[in-house]
Chain A
Amino acid sequence: MSEHASKAVEPARPMLTVNNIEVIYDHVILVLKGVSLAVPQGGIVAILGANGAGKTTTLKAISNLLHAERGEVTKGSIEFNGDRVDRLSPNELVRRGCIQVMEGRHCFGHLSIEENLLTGAFTRRDGNRAIRADLEMIYDYFPRLRQRRSSMAGYTSGGEQQMCAIGRAMMSRPKMILLDEPSMGLAPQVVDEIFEIVKDLNSKQGVSFLVAEQNTNMALKYATYGYIMETGRIVMDGDAASLRDNEDVKEFYLGIGGEGRKSFREVKSYKRRKRWLA
């Protein structure tokens, strides 16, 4: 593993560190088997991995939402800004500046889009004016939301809900956003836009990101650092550029094996996925 190599390129002190955590669902299902990762201050870190690798679980463990699904962190620790946070309530974590955008939207269906966005500002104490300004900012990022601002979120399209969820998280003015599959269900243009927004927030406001993403291409284009997960373990990590050049990653995550990008029609047989470990 390239543990020491990663140390060398770490740009700043870590904002978030996850030390060797183990997660169990329902008291019996062991899902994460010792996951460690770090997100530096002002970094964009991607977690990549197949379905069921445990990306979502990792993010939920960090944001303390596991509890609500009868999951539990049984070993290891999580630190945010130098403090242990694995015993905090989710809202306390949001107050400290770490918010998650959950996979699969989870908008408040009975609230209008605008009300949804405003709930994002629940923990903020900096007054109405600032909140309004941010609302405008979100609408500028996602003009589609402005059009639908008074619709009930439950009736909007999948992509609109995804935008709403991301916008809602941004409304809390976080220091760090945990993004779970932000590009899912979004039109290609909007995917580009989202990542541009990520970059924008990162460079202008110094927001750090931890992104779990299937669109590896995109993720590695914008991320500074990446982790690859398989069945509950981190199997590889490295800075984005080195991952992009790794042959295995190319083959399995970027879909550009030796001879460059293939057509989806030409994939001949069902390949068996290569496992690094286990």
Chain B
Amino acid sequence: MLYNIFIDPFVQMAQMPDLLVQTLWEGLVSGVLYALIALGFVLIFKASGVFNFAQGIMVVFSALTLVGFYEKFSAYGFSGHTAAFVALILTAGVMFVLAMLIERVVLRPLVNQPDIILFMATFGITYMLIGFGEMVFGGDPKQMIASELFLPSGSVDVEMLGGMVSFQKIDIAAAVIASVMIAGLALFFQKTRIGRALRAVADSHKAALSVGISLNQIWVIVWFAAGLVALVTGIMWGARSDVSFALEIVALKALPVLVLGGLTSVPGAIVGGLIIGIGEKLGEFYWGPLLGGGIESWFAYAIALLFLLYRPQGLFGDKIIERI
């Protein structure tokens, strides 16, 4: 038993290094994809203290809108790429309108309410998006228009370490896009005037109002940004599986990532994502069989919990201020 837990997995790793590399790569890719979802949460949380339950459905909604627009255009005979990019722009527009609506209808009247109330309100948004989305797009799964958006397909197979390791091109693209986005957002928060204002809003709505920060404007910006992140996430996840309402479940995967990295930290999202992604894959691949497999569903949470016991605010989260 002890051998199976403590020795055998490492023996396996040593014996089949190519598989280890492949596992790490898969972990890295899932990590990046988790991080993308987590990023949407972080954006909104950091900028308004709202834990946005609707992020998952926003991913689905944006992806469906994109595909929906694309289908409409290609029905009118536009060529693949043009239609795809026009659809992309229109979808961004839709996300902007959505952000405005949410700000106007939901957030503005709820300014300065406790976090949990805003959290609840995002649940209302989720319900409405589900109802609206299913009404408009129906429940059938749709194909993501990956190649029309010039996303690569196929894989790069590299022979190494006595085996073949294959890197999916779409995964590489996802990793690159995610890194760029995350770096950009991190800079934005730390270095710009708006970024500072965003953090101020998250700290206290009331005080932010009193110094003249326009919550309305800021919320639109942030929710729009989160909408765009959702769109990118939707494209990437959609390219992996189909675009359907089932994708919503994936959003739950972002929660341990988020917590591990710290709810308020953009770099935390990516680090958390990588730790969870890689930890989860290694755990499932090498240790999972001992428990009969399928431990991935809670393993991520267990990792997150362990880290939290050590650092209650996550790895990079803002310190929880306890002062009397």
Binding site for B on A (CB under 8 A): 63, 65, 67-69, 89-95, 99-102, 106-111, 115-116, 118-120, 122-123, 152, 154-155, 168-169, 172
Q: Is B197 an interface position by the 8 A CB rule? A: yes
A68 neighbours in B (Cβ, 8 Å): 111-112, 205-206, 209
Is there contact, CB below 8 Å, between B196 and A106? Answer: no
Is there contact, CB below 8 Å, between A63 and B210? Answer: yes
A116 neighbours in B (Cβ, 8 Å): 200
Is there contact, CB below 8 Å, between A111 and B206? Answer: no
B215 neighbours in A (Cβ, 8 Å): 91
Report the bound CA distance from A89 to B109 in whole Å: 12
Is there contact, CB below 8 Å, between A94 and B112? Answer: no
Report the bound CA distance from A119 to B207 in whole Å: 10
Mark out the residues of chain B between 199 and 215 whose CB falls within 8 Å of any chain A CB in the assembled complex: 199-200, 202-215
Chosen A-B contacts, 21 in total, with CB atoms closer than 8 Å, are A63-B210, A65-B210, A89-B214, A90-B212, A91-B212, A91-B213, A91-B214, A91-B215, A93-B212, A94-B211, A94-B212, A99-B210, A102-B206, A109-B204, A110-B321, A111-B203, A115-B199, A119-B200, A119-B213, A122-B213, A154-B323
A107 to chain B, nearest CB (A): 7
Q: Which of B193, B203, B210, B214 is the one whose CB lies under 8 Å from A110?
A: B203
- Given the contacts A68-B112, A69-B112, A90 and B210 also touching, CB distance less than 8 Å: yes
Known: A91-B214, A109-B321. 5 other contacts (CB 8 A): A65-B210, A69-B206, A100-B210, A111-B203, A172-B212
- Tell me whether chain B's interface is mostly helix, strand or loop, or mixed: helix
Is there contact, CB below 8 Å, between A108 and B200? Answer: yes
A93 neighbours in B (Cβ, 8 Å): 212
Report the bound CA distance from A115 to B318 in whole Å: 15
A115 neighbours in B (Cβ, 8 Å): 196, 199-200
Report the bound CA distance from A168 to B207 in whole Å: 11
Q: Is B240 an interface position by the 8 A CB rule? A: no
B12 neighbours in A (Cβ, 8 Å): none
A229 to chain B, nearest CB (A): 21
Report the bound CA distance from A116 to B213 in whole Å: 12
B204 neighbours in A (Cβ, 8 Å): 106, 108-109
B196 neighbours in A (Cβ, 8 Å): 111, 115, 118-119
Is there contact, CB below 8 Å, between A108 and B209? Answer: no
Most buried by A among B197, B207, B214, B264: B207
Is there contact, CB below 8 Å, between B211 and A110? Answer: no
- Closest chain A residue, CB of each to CB of B322: A154
- Closest chain A residue, CB of each to CB of B217: A91
Report the bound CA distance from A155 to B212 in whole Å: 24
B104 neighbours in A (Cβ, 8 Å): none
Chain A to chain B: the 3 pairs with minimum beta-carbon distance, closest first: A94-B212, A154-B321, A68-B112
Most buried by B among A89, A91, A95: A91
Q: Is B216 an interface position by the 8 A CB rule? A: yes
A169 neighbours in B (Cβ, 8 Å): 210-211
Interface string of B185-205 (1 = CB under 8 A from A): 000000001001101101111
Q: Is B311 an interface position by the 8 A CB rule? A: no
- Closest chain A residue, CB of each to CB of B206: A68
Report the bound CA distance from A118 to B214 in whole Å: 15
Q: Which of B210, B213, B321 is the one whose CB lies under 8 Å from A155?
A: B321
B197 neighbours in A (Cβ, 8 Å): 119, 122
A127 to chain B, nearest CB (A): 12
A102 neighbours in B (Cβ, 8 Å): 206-207, 210
B318 neighbours in A (Cβ, 8 Å): 110
Q: Is B319 an interface position by the 8 A CB rule? A: yes
Is there contact, CB below 8 Å, between A152 and B200? Answer: no
B69 to chain A, nearest CB (A): 34
- Closest chain A residue, CB of each to CB of B193: A122
B264 neighbours in A (Cβ, 8 Å): 110
Report the bound CA distance from A1 to B118 in whole Å: 47
B26 to chain A, nearest CB (A): 36
Most buried by A among B111, B202, B203, B323: B203
A120 neighbours in B (Cβ, 8 Å): 211
Report the bound CA distance from A106 to B112 in whole Å: 13
Is there contact, CB below 8 Å, between A106 and B210? Answer: yes
Mark out the residues of chain B between 209 and 233 whose CB falls within 8 Å of any chain A CB in the assembled complex: 209-216
